[in-house]
Amino acid sequence: MSQLTLATVMFGVFSLAFFWFTLKWNWLPDDLLPSNLTQESTGLFDALGGWALGFAGALVAIRIAGLATNIQQNDSIREEIIYLNRSVEKISDINSKVTRSIYDAKRACTALLLEYDDISKAKPARLINYYGERPAPKSSELSPEVLSNLISKLDDLISTIEESSRDFVFRSLFKFARSPKSDNHIVSPEDAPLDDFFLEESTRNIMLGIVAEDLKVYDFIEQLNRSSKNLGLGISHLRSKNILVEYSKDLEQLLKLVRTDKLEYSGAAWLLLGMFLLHDKVEKAGGKRVYNTGFLLISLVLGSLPNRELLKEYLQSQLEEGSMEYTRSGKQRLKEEVIKLSEQLYYLEGVEAFDHADESKSNPSDLADVINLFQTCANNIDILRVRSRVTGLNEKYNESSLNAKSIDKANNAPTSEPKKG
């Protein structure tokens, strides 16, 4: 509007000044003097005047049409930005909730470890006059406050992760990450199952890269679907058993690592949280061992929260799917706005410029403690071994093993003779 108003005023002032000076100083040619004017000359002059007015009107109409187009494009860009901003706020809010719920549950596990440490110091060194299993002393029970807080935080954690995996925008982002349009390659649980962490070094390296760097993400939504039966098994134990007795071997092992300065309380709490969340039986060395796969899942979730690069590509793809055509300046503005929106995303940053040759040059990470612990577990898998006897785990059997068991059961079944009489 300001440009149009300025152009109109300038054109009017120039025209008024030109005609006033023409009449004032008699700049008209001799042929156009009143005494020499003919009807043909006046008609030509009138035609020239009409052409000038028509040209000015067309110029103004073009300017008005251009201005209307710019207004329509600006309105469309504004609506696009508002729509995209809602997606950014939704994803950022989910990232924040998941992160907060994980750290709240981890702090509750730290409280359990501290209380168990106090209880274990108060236990007698040796118990006598008992038969069978050693009875647990009456003091080896969690205080109601610690137990209630732990169960509540673990419940909140599982609910938050499950809700995030069901959110439409969040699922759409992971669906985009799986599409060929995305430069951020996503790692599927089929390519890197949690159990393979304990079997293959290549899988350990892939998972460490996901946790440490912001280059790839793990499809933990698909992994949650696979682990849904065992997820939160430790919470059932908390409600139905004395956890200090049920997991006494693991608690003692964690405290032993803390006392020998191999772990800090924070690292032990991460491992305890993972054990409460998920532990699975893994086929290894010809037998089945139970491992703490929950810590792997928690680490991969924290390392796979949508980052700025993935979000920027996702927002750009959303714009490309629209039917609105924009000018070159409009496209450039949208590109700049997408960058600004992606910068507003909250997530835990990994080491974006990870230098394997010189780690001192790497950028600091929000997940430094998790990355270091994950590296420690990758170098020493036995740390993730669940030593307590746990029940309720789902086992996987193939068809041949099922048939073999059913045949063996049939062969060993006692035969009964018909009753006489």
More confident residue, 253 or 44: 253
Instruction: Please check the confidence at residue 138 and state whether its pLDDT lies above 50.
Output: no
Q: What is the DSSP letter of 385?
A: B
Contact 72, 16 (CB under 8 A): no
Q: Residue 85 and residue 78: Cα distance in Å, rounded?
A: 10
pLDDT at 325 over 80: no
Asked whether the predicted pLDDT for residue 301 surpasses 90, the reply is yes
Please state, in angstroms and rounded to a whole number, the distance separating the CA atoms of residues 346 and 250.
35
What's the one-letter identity of residue 173? L
Q: Give the C-alpha separation, 405 to 7, whole Å.
A: 92
The residue ranking higher by pLDDT, 257 or 31, is: 257
Q: State how far the Cα of 17 lies from the Cα of 300, in Å rounded to an integer.
A: 76
pLDDT at 211 over 50: yes
* Cα–Cα distance, 373 to 351 (Å, whole number): 15
Range 19-34 average pLDDT = 60
Nearest partner of 321 among 221, 184, 172, 166, judged by Cα? 172
Whole-number pLDDT of residue 364: 64
Lowest average pLDDT, out of 31-45, 276-290, 341-355, goes to 31-45
**Which is higher by pLDDT, 417 or 208?**
208
Average pLDDT of span 121-145: 58
Query: Which range scores top for mean pLDDT: 99-103, 133-137, 390-394?
Result: 99-103
pLDDT digits (tens, 9 = 90+) for 61-118: 767 766 666 777 777 888 888 889 999 999 999 999 999 999 999 999 999 999 998 8
Rg, Å, the chain Cα set: 37
Rounded-to-integer distance, Cα 141 and Cα 383, Å? 25
User: Which residues does residue 289 pair with via DSSP β-bridges, in sequence order?
Assistant: 282
Q: Report the b/e string of 380-400 with b at 16+ CB within 10 A.
A: ebebbbbebebeeeeeeeeee
* pTM exceeds 0.75, yes or no: no
Q: Cβ neighbours of residue 275 under 8 Å, at least 6 residues apart?
A: 234, 247, 250, 292, 294, 295, 386
Single out the residue of 360, 202, 369 nearest to residue 302, CA to CA.
369
Residue with tokens 């706020």: 89
Tokens of 26: 């008699």
Measure Cα distances from 261 to 13, 117, 265, 268, 280 in Å: 87, 15, 10, 11, 28
